[in-house]
Structure 1
Amino acid sequence: MGIQDVIEGKKQWRAHVARVKALPPDYQIVYKEMQKYLFKVGPIDLSEGRLLPDIVDFFEEGVASGKGVLQLIGPDVAAFCDDLIKGTRTYADVYQESFTANPGPTEK
């Protein structure tokens, strides 16, 4: 990864953040909670994928149609996020695998 890749990545991230800031406050709050959740347990390729920009696209469509954010995703933000990442390898999976692959000393 060269310096140009880093610079381009920063430009894309700043443009993404600007789109999030343009959303209504309730959408921003839910997006930030989703982002926190996905950064904790989300897919390993989150930074390389289109998941976060696709969420902003989805939210922008919801705003344009006049719907509230909870009308779009439902009352449980974590459950909505889990449905989005269903079937993808997550950091939680890697953490769980680290325990099964390297069992600790057994007690006597």
Structure 2
Amino acid sequence: MSIQDIIEGKKQWRAHMARVKALPPDYQIVYKEMQKYLFKVGPVDLPDGPLLPGIVDFFEEGVAAGKGVLEVTGTDVAAFCDDLIKDSRTYADAYQESIGKESGTAEK
């Protein structure tokens, strides 16, 4: 990864966060909690993938429609997040695979 790639990545992240800050306060709170949750358990490609910008797009549509954030996500926000990543390879999956490999070599 070159310096130029890092600079470009930071520009994109700042633009993304500017979109988040433009959301109403209740949307911002839920987005930040979702972001924390997804960074803990989320997909391996989360920082570079389309998931976070897609959530902001979805939230912007909810704001435009005049809906509250919980009308958009439902009251169980963690379940909403889990549905978003259900078919993605997560850090937990990678960890389980590494444990399986380690235990497999220990048995031989």
How high is the TM-score relative to the length of structure 1?
Answer: 0.91
**Partners of 2:24 and 2:87 in 1: CA distance:** 31
Cross-structure match for 2:50: 50
Cross-structure match for 1:85: 85
Pick which of 96-105 and 52-61 moved more. 96-105
Aligned residues: 106
How far does the alpha carbon of each residue in 1:13-63 deviate from its partner, in whole angstroms, 9 at most, with x for none?
001111101111110010001100110110001112111001000000100
Runs of 4+ in 1 over 4 A off after TM superposition: none
> What is the CA-CA distance between 1:2 and the residue it aligns to?
1.3
Instruction: Quote the sequence identity (%).
Output: 78
Q: Structure 2: 5+ residue runs without aligned partners?
A: none
How far does the alpha carbon of each residue in 1:44-85 deviate from its partner, in whole angstroms, 9 at most, with x for none?
011121110010000001001000000011011111011001
**Partners of 1:103 and 1:50 in 2: CA distance:** 34
What is the Cα-based RMSD across aligned positions, in Å? 1.6
> What is the CA-CA distance between 1:101 and the residue it aligns to?
2.1
**Partners of 1:57 and 1:87 in 2: CA distance:** 20
* Aligned partner of residue 4 in structure 2, secondary structure: helix
Cross-structure match for 2:101: 101
**Partners of 2:6 and 2:43 in 1: CA distance:** 21
